[in-house]
Each structure stands twice: as structure tokens, then as C-alpha cells.
Structure 1
């Protein structure tokens, strides 16, 4: 009987420890998911001052959410979960047709078909450029370094207004 009581206490302790760990992990991750966390102190202050909000019903917001999460995942290449996260994000945010187009680009160019590059940008911005015929178009601007002479590239991203899935990605001038 004493042995059974000890096992039950051990299980309770493990469950309590796991719960505390999960809560602390969620507390640490939540600001990053909300867009207020950052790696650099100045960025953290700017993000905290400007705040962040979203609306899952808007195609532009969805594109911004996708690129933010995707870049975070590919940036953190040392995390074993990063590759799976990037794959899951593609599956969730991109239509089947867009996923195929990205795969063709990647096989041909040996580069990431979401970023149209072999490396990862340090900054990104999404701007709505219009909508019509059931689609919204957003311009994703990727910045590849810091400083006044930073290289910038643009991607035009088309989304279906009904499903909010990304249906096409094109390098833009």
C-alpha cells in the first residue's frame, strides 16, 4: 500500500511539473506569437510601444501572419521543430496549387520557394496592393540586412478571398 501511495505521489508530482512547464512555456511564447517579442532590446521596446493586433478574416493579415511565422521557423534552423513548423505553415496557409508551384521552383532553383532565396531575411513587411475578382494581392517586402544599403526584394502574393489561402507567389520588381 505504501508503494502504491508513493507511485501516485510521483505521478502527481510529474503531472504538476509538466503543467507548470507548459504554462511557463506558453507565457514565454505568447508575446512572440502576438508580435510583441523580439530578439533585440530596441526592437522589443519598439514592438511594445506600437503593439500588435490581428484579424483572421483579412487576407492581408493572413499573409503577414504566414510570412512572420515562416521566417521565424526558417531563421531558427537549429531548432529541431523548425523544419516541421515551416512545412506545417506551408500546408495551412498555401493552396494545393501554390504548394505545387513552390515545389517546382525549389526543385529547379535549389532555393526556398516562399522567400525566393537561399538565405533568410532579417525583416519583412506586407502591404495590400489591391483586390478584385475574388482575390487580394499583397506585396511582401523582404530586407536582407541592416543598414542604409540593405538589399530589398519584393514578392507579390495573391490570396483567395473566400478561403484566405495563398494561391500564387511571384517575384516582383
Structure 2
């Protein structure tokens, strides 16, 4: 009986040591992935629904900004054009082109440069349309420059039908 108690005690101590070592080894080894200062934090989750108007607006602005940010990539310009054709109604594509011809600026962003961040917020729906407010952040720091764009989407076609500076 004494031998069995010793074996049980030694086995329990060994199991506790193994569990403790397993728990602290990652902390000691610092095996957590390192994040680039401009990358998404490990706890950030992004979700979407292709049926939701606000998700589609967010998808469009995210992909569009990515494309024009990476303008050195030979596929970037073609991708930005394809995104416009897919997400914008034909009438809105014509309005964007007219704005660009007149203002010599991007008609989706209403600017000549590329924002460093973007945010899309649903603001309401009615009469077959949904509206969202896109906030573009143009610089980093304590007091960054921002602009906002009001975006209207047709709920039936899911196409963006109107873009207007909201400032």
C-alpha cells in the first residue's frame, strides 16, 4: 500500500510539473506572433455578409483603397476599374467619371491621394435604399485629417447608386 501511494504521489507531481511547464514555456519562449506596427491586431475580427448593403460598401472601399494604394502593382489599375464596374451602378460610374474629368481627382474618394484608413458605418435605410457614412483618414497621429462620404446603395441590385462628400 505504501508503494502505491508513493507511485501515485510521484505520478501526480510529474503531471503537475508537465502541465506547469507546458503552461509557462510559451510565455518564456515568447512564441506569440509579432505584429507589424501597421498590421491588424490578433484580436481584431472582420466579418461580412454579401447580402448586407453596408458590408458591400465596406468591401468596395477596402478593396478599392488596397488597389490604388498598391499602384506599382501592374494589376492595381485594372482591379480598381473592375471594382468600380462591379460595385457602382452604371449611372454612378458616369458621375464618378464626370467628377474626375472636371476635378482631376479620384471620384470615389473625392481626393487626389490615398487614405491610410477607412471606416464604414450604416446610417439607415428606406425607399429601397440603404445609406452608409464612409470616413476616410488621410494621416496618422494625434489629430489626423479625415473626410466623410455619404454612400447610397440600392437594396435590390446591391449597387452603389450615389456617392457624395458629407463634409
- Aligning the two structures, in what range does the TM-score lie when normalised by the shorter sequence? 0.7 to 0.9
Residue aligned with 2:43, SS? helix
Q: Does 1:130 align with 2:120?
A: no
Gaps spanning 5+ residues in structure 1: where? 1-39
Which of 132, 141, 148 is residue 147 of structure 1 equivalent to? 141
Between Structure 1 and Structure 2, whose CA radius of gyration is higher?
A: 2
1:165 aligned to 2:151? no
The number of residue pairs the alignment matches comes to 133
1:84-126 deviations in Å (ceiling 9; x for gaps)? 0000000000000000000000000000000000000000000
What is the distance in 2 between the residues matched to 1:132 and 1:165?
A: 15
In 1, Cα distance between the equivalents of 2:39 and 2:71?
A: 22
Q: Deviations over 1:51-83 (max 9, x none)?
A: 211100000000000000000000001001000
Aligned: 1:60 with 2:54: yes
Q: Which has the higher helix share?
A: 1
Partners of 1:54 and 1:171 lie apart in 2 by: 25
RMSD: 1.0
CA shift for structure 1 position 43: 4.1
- Provide TM-score, normalisation by structure 1: 0.75
TM-score when normalising by structure 2: 0.77
Distance across 2 between alignment mates of 1:159 and 1:131 = 9
Q: Distance in 2 between matches of 1:52 and 1:43?
A: 16
